[in-house]
Structure 1
Amino acid sequence: MPRTLPDLTHRALRRIRPLSFETNASFVERLARAHYLTTSELLSGLHIHRPKVYPAREHDYGPHTPTELYLNAGARARISQYTGIPDAHLTHALPCWKDYRDRGSAAETRPGGAMRPSSLPAVIGCPHCTVARTGQTQPVPRYLPHQQLVCARHRTWALGPHTLHGIPVPHTHALLHKTPEIVRAHHTHLRLTRRWGPDADNAVAQAARLTEHWRRRAPKSERIWPDRARLVGSEDASMWQALAREAITYPETITLAGLLVRRPSTRYHRTRPGQSHPLHTTIARLLNRRWLQNPAHYPEDLSHYIRYAPRHPTNDTAYRHHTKPTSREADTVELTQLGYRPSQPTAKAHGPQRR
């Protein structure tokens, strides 16, 4: 017996609200699942033409990038009407809601869209918050900005998606119950963002590049990061240094970012090879790492890392900055060298799927 499709003459039977930073595909899929439909059936019932599917291009986006559903103006209007949620609210909650390049007016264009890889990195939001907000355990991918990867209430860090030889690594979150310094750094990050806005984002991005450089080349005397890796994961510390690399160095990243954003006079001047720089001593003392006094632990192009000039403080809390994580190819190399092999995904019954 064919399913009864939704009728646009009535509102949706169930009120499904989007989560902040949620992907379009996730929101539409949750809306369909709440009415016991697949995404294709929901769109057909709303008289939205089946979206054109564009295959992923690995050299452009990477194998871990999720597929996003982009809807034109006509399709967005019908979903807004069906859910009873104003288009302005959907635009505010869903970062890619209006990313479809509309041509002509909504009245002239047939409702439809496209499914193609997203250029923004998506992570799985805090599972505890998801259950509280949706009442479901189904993971919700979200375009969380860097300062929102930490859930201080449930002490979780949303990891970026990793793949190893095309197989997803079955770890989506790191647990922060034993690492209060990461939660404290999160609160400091929020304060920096509230005060400095885009300048704080620039400082954090530059600091993250440096701490990542140090993490991969740290001497054996460095014990804080390996110990922290053991605390955030439940398996081999070396593996978790690769999986949760941004979380492992997060406290040092935020501390260094605070130096960059608060000291606009901070500049790096070239010195002779092997010669220590005053900035090296400052950073080593700030991060409590004696080995950072050694110029050998700094990249040769450090002047390109430290080239930051804050414009002015700002209290613009509405500013949203999606920090793109660095390339995951290096993670795959690390995991391969560690001999890690993710478990093969098993076939199991799922709810309605996107089509």
Structure 2
Amino acid sequence: MASGKAVAAGALRTVPLAGELTASLINRAADRYGLAAAHVLRLWTCRNSPTRHDGGGLRADAEVVLNEAGRRVLAELCGVEPQVLARALPAFTVQDAEISTGREAAVAQARWRAAVAVAGPAAFGCRLCTARRTGQALRAVRYLPRWRRVCVRHGRWLLDADAVGGAAGQAGAGRADEGRGAAADRRGAGAPGSVGPGARGPLPRPA
């Protein structure tokens, strides 16, 4: 990685989650280094701007597509082999002609796109599961069809990543269910196909 970026590439390992948005992994990698995501994004030449809500906030389902040089930079940043990223990140191998060809193809480049246009609808991941798997108390955003928008382990809905206030809603539900979810883990309560500790009925379906 080029010098002067103030990031010691690969010094800290950030492992991707299955189905995670590339933009979500970049956010988590930035947090691992104690940096703002905007700072880490300077590692790539961004050819456009991410989609924002009417209030100006960045949409959580904003996705990043990288060219070949950009993929190598992400692999180096995360300390993970490109093959691992390709298996975990649905958008990692997506080609964008605007950044994959031409005189600057050798420069690490990125283009922002809507997740649904890249690999399908996206949802906020369960914060407790993300913390358990990564050691980071952060939200992750993953490609998930709507019929999979529930965390059975912790009994919580996984809200659409494009919903205004969705992050706060999911986090609030997490705080309310955190104690109950931990208790369910300890006692192994809840029959297969149930939601929440001790639940007996079938899985409720997302609206």
TM-score, normalised on structure 1?
0.42
| Aligned mate of 2:92, from 84, 91, 97 | 97
3-state SS of paired residue (2:83) = helix
Q: Deviations over 1:195-225 (max 9, x none)?
A: xxxxxxxxxxxxxxxxxxxxxxxxxxxxxxx
The residue number in structure 2 matching 1:180 is 200
The residue number in structure 1 matching 2:151 is 151
- What's the offset of the Cα at 1:93? 0.5
Matched, 1:121 2:114: no
- What's the offset of the Cα at 1:182? 3.0
Q: What is the aligned length?
A: 173
Q: Structure 1 residues 55, 81: CA separation in 2 closer, same or farther (over 3 Å shift)?
A: closer
| Aligned mate of 1:35, from 33, 36, 49 | 33
Does the aligned pair in 1 maintain the 2:69–2:106 contact within 8 Å? yes
Does the aligned pair in 1 maintain the 2:122–2:162 contact within 8 Å? no
Measured in 2, the distance between the counterparts of 1:106 and 1:73 equals 14
The residue number in structure 1 matching 2:184 is none
The residue number in structure 2 matching 1:49 is 45
What is the identity, as a one-letter code, of the residue corresponding to 1:32?
Answer: A
Matched, 1:112 2:109: yes
Gaps of 5+ in 1: 184-227, 229-245, 249-355
3-state SS of paired residue (1:5) = coil
Does the aligned pair in 2 maintain the 1:91–1:98 contact within 8 Å? yes
Measured in 2, the distance between the counterparts of 1:135 and 1:12 equals 17
Measured in 2, the distance between the counterparts of 1:4 and 1:108 equals 20
The residue number in structure 2 matching 1:336 is none
Q: Deviations over 1:39-72 (max 9, x none)?
A: 332243x4x22342154699xxxx9772112211
Does the aligned pair in 2 maintain the 1:40–1:50 contact within 8 Å? no
What is the identity, as a one-letter code, of the residue corresponding to 1:124?
Answer: F
What is the identity, as a one-letter code, of the residue corresponding to 2:39?
Answer: E
Q: Structure 1 residues 131, 112: CA separation in 2 closer, same or farther (over 3 Å shift)?
A: same
Measured in 1, the distance between the counterparts of 2:77 and 2:96 equals 22
The residue number in structure 2 matching 1:5 is 6
The residue number in structure 1 matching 2:139 is 139
- What's the offset of the Cα at 1:75? 0.6
- What's the offset of the Cα at 1:139? 1.0
Does the aligned pair in 1 maintain the 2:20–2:88 contact within 8 Å? yes
Measured in 2, the distance between the counterparts of 1:25 and 1:150 equals 22
Measured in 2, the distance between the counterparts of 1:156 and 1:88 equals 32
Does the aligned pair in 1 maintain the 2:67–2:108 contact within 8 Å? yes
- What's the offset of the Cα at 1:21? 0.9
Q: Structure 1 residues 81, 64: CA separation in 2 closer, same or farther (over 3 Å shift)?
A: closer
Higher gyration radius (CA): 1
Does the aligned pair in 2 maintain the 1:131–1:137 contact within 8 Å? yes
